[in-house]
Every structure is written in C-alpha cells, then in structure tokens.
Amino acid sequence: MNEKLIIHPLPAVWDASSRVLLLGTMPSPASRAQGFYYGHPQNRFWKVMAMVLQQPEPDNSVEQRKKFLLQNRIALFDVLQSCRIRGAADTSIREPVPNDFEEIFSGADIQAVFTTGTKAYTLYEKLCLPKTGREAICLPSTSAANCRMSLEVLKEQYQIIREYL
C-alpha cells in the first residue's frame, strides 16, 4: 500500500461543556470514508465508551455519535493535522504536523487530555505538549490491531475518564 499525504478532514467535536479531550492519531481510511472518528466496524472505541459511561452504544450515525460525546462532556479530535501514512498504520507515519488545540482549551474547561494509543501519546508529547503545557494520559488503542487487549481490560483502562467528567 502506498504512502499518502493525508490532511485531517474531520472537525473537532467539542462544546463549552466538554471536560475531557480524547485524541487519536489520524482518522483511518474507514473513518475518513464514513466522515467520523473510529468508523472501522472492528474498532472497539464506541463499545468501550458505552461500557465506561454505562450507556447504550450509539448507532453508526455521525449525529448520534456526536450527541453521545457532547452529552457526556467529551471532546474528540486527533493529534495530527496532516502526515504521510500508509493506510491506517500509525507505525508508518512520517512528516507529522500537529493540530492546534487552542480553540478547544480556551473554549472549554478541559480537565484532562487522553490519547487513544501509544503513537498518539508519543506524537502529542513531542509536538503538542511544548505548546499546550498540558500533560496527556496514554490509554490503550481500541483498534482491532490491538487484539491482545480484551474488551474488559480496555474498559478498566478507560474508566479513568470518569474521574474528570
């Protein structure tokens, strides 16, 4: 699969009531095709979040997923504004350019920043932390590629989000 320059196509999801900012790396091809975050049917993000928040999993519609996040005071975005990447392989990322989070941080009382995976965390620490001054907490990836981690373990790891809502 060829490496492509990807410009982040999705707007950040947040509003003034957001308390937690979750950051992935870059939308996967499936997410870009669907027009929303964590769009691959095998990604466990929405299932894990529903379990952590003790609510029904939102359906696949962009509107329902946005509503789910905002009702739970969760902002969602990605670390990168652009990069060269092969498919959805975070390990192939080159030439990363970070997103700007100033609008979110100035417009919402964000209590904690979390990354959904090690690559997102590493990129945030290197490219964003010097500007934001806000430490991030690294959560495990919900991708099917992280199949060694069970749904139950993911739920346990993501429970920390509740402390900041």
Tell me what percent of the residues of the chain surpass a pLDDT of 90. Answer: 90
How confident is the model over 69-75, as a mean pLDDT? Answer: 98
Q: What pLDDT, on the 0 to 100 scale, is given for residue 148? A: 83
Token pair belonging to 100: 């700007």
pLDDT tens-place string over residues 115-151: 999 999 999 999 999 999 999 999 999 987 787 889 9
Exposure string over 92-128, b if 16+ CB within 10 A, otherwise e: ebeebebbebeebbeebebebbbbbbebbbbbbeebb
Query: Which domains, ranges and CATH numbers included, belong to the chain?
Result: 3-164 (3.40.470.10)
3-state helix/strand/coil string of 77-96: EECEEEEEEECCCHHHCEEE
pLDDT > 80? residue 28: yes
CA 114 from centre of chain: 8
Pick from 71, 48, 47, 72: nearest CA to 60: 47
Mean pLDDT of the chain: 95
**How many whole angstroms separate alpha carbon 143 and alpha carbon 120?**
13
Q: What pLDDT, on the 0 to 100 scale, is given for residue 144? A: 78
Q: What pLDDT, on the 0 to 100 scale, is given for residue 2? A: 78
Q: What pLDDT, on the 0 to 100 scale, is given for residue 65? A: 98
pLDDT > 80? residue 62: yes
Tell me what percent of the residues of the chain surpass a pLDDT of 70. Answer: 99
Confidence class for position 83, pLDDT limits 50, 70, 90: very high
Strand duo 94-98 + 112-116: pairing: unpaired
Contact between 108 and 57 (Cβ < 8 Å): no
